[in-house]
Amino acid sequence: MTCSQVKTVQRIIRDLQHLLDNDSYLSQAPGGKPFIAYRKPPNLKQLLTHNNTRTRLNMDTGTRACNKSISQLCCYIHPDSIIIGPNNIKHTISGLFNCSSSNIIYAIKCQQCPSALSIGQIGQTLRQRINGHKSDIRNHKTEKPIGEPFSLPGHYVQDLRVAVLLQKNFRHTLEREIAELQHITKLKAMERPGLNRDIGFMSHYTY
C-alpha cells in the first residue's frame, strides 16, 4: 500500500465512522476509531540484498542471452558477474550486456579449463565476434588465437564461453586496445593457462 492509498483508506474510514457509532452493537467495540498504520515498502537495495546478498546482486551484472532467433549464440554466453583468470585473479563485471552489445572488451572462457582466459576487443557486436571464433574453432584454424586452444584434445566448440567485461563509447580501435591491454594485465591473461599469447597491437614494439 502506498502513502496515497493510505490517505484514501483513512478518508473512507472517516466517512463511514458514523455507521459504527450509530450501530448499537458495534459502538460497544473498544478502541474507538480504527487506526491505519503505514509500513514503508522495501526499496531496491533492500530487495536486492535480502537474504542471499551475493546471488541477488550478481543477477544484476554480467552478460545475458538475447534470445533472438537470428542468433544461435546465446548458449555460448558466460553469465557470471565475476570472471576468474589465471592465478585465481577475480574481476567483477559492472554493467549488463547481451549478444548485441558492441564497442566492447570481452573475455573468452573454456568450459574444460576453468582458469584459462583470453581478453579481446571488438567494435562490432559480441554476436559477430562469437561467430568468428566459432568458425575458427570448427575449421581448426590453429593459427588463430582462439582456434588453437579449442583444438586441444577433448575440446569442442561447445566449450567456448564469452562474457562482456566493458562497454564504452570508445572513439577508435586504439582506445579499445588500450582498455583491452589494461584487462589483459590486470587479469594476467598472458600467464599460463591464460590464452593471450602476446599483447596484440603492442607486439610490433616488443618483438
The binding site for Zn ion (CB under 5 A) comprises: 65-66, 71, 73-74, 99, 110, 112-113
Min. distance of Cβ 63 from Zn ion in angstroms? Answer: 10
Contacts of 80 (CB under 8 A, 6+ apart): 58, 62, 93, 163
Contact call for residues 189 and 118 (beta carbons, < 8 A)? yes
Query: Residue 56 Cβ, how far from Zn ion at the closest point, in Å?
Result: 24
Least separation in angstroms between CB 61 and Zn ion = 17
Q: Which CB, 10 or 167, lies closer to Zn ion?
A: 167
* CA-closest candidate to residue 120, choices 34, 197, 61: 197
Q: Is the Cβ of residue 126 or residue 181 nearer to Zn ion in the bound state?
A: 126
Nearer to Zn ion, 10 or 111 (CB): 111
Report in angstroms how near the CB of residue 96 gets to Zn ion at its nearest: 14
| Nearer of residues 66 and 117 to Zn ion, judged by Cβ | 66
Q: What is the rounded CA–CA span in Å between residue 117 and residue 166?
A: 15
Number of H helices and E strands in the chain, helices first, is: 6, 7
Least distance CB 84 / Zn ion (angstroms): 14
157-177: burial string, b at 16+ Cβ within 10 Å, e else: eebbbbbbbbbeebeeeeebb
Backbone dihedral angles phi then psi of residue 110, each to the nearest 5 degrees: -120, 130
Q: Which is nearer to Zn ion, 13 or 79 (CB)?
A: 79
CB of 130 to Zn ion, least distance (A): 9
- Taking the least distance from each CB to Zn ion, the nearer of 112 and 167 is 112
Q: Which residues neighbour 43 within 8 Å (Cβ) at sequence distance 6 or greater?
A: none
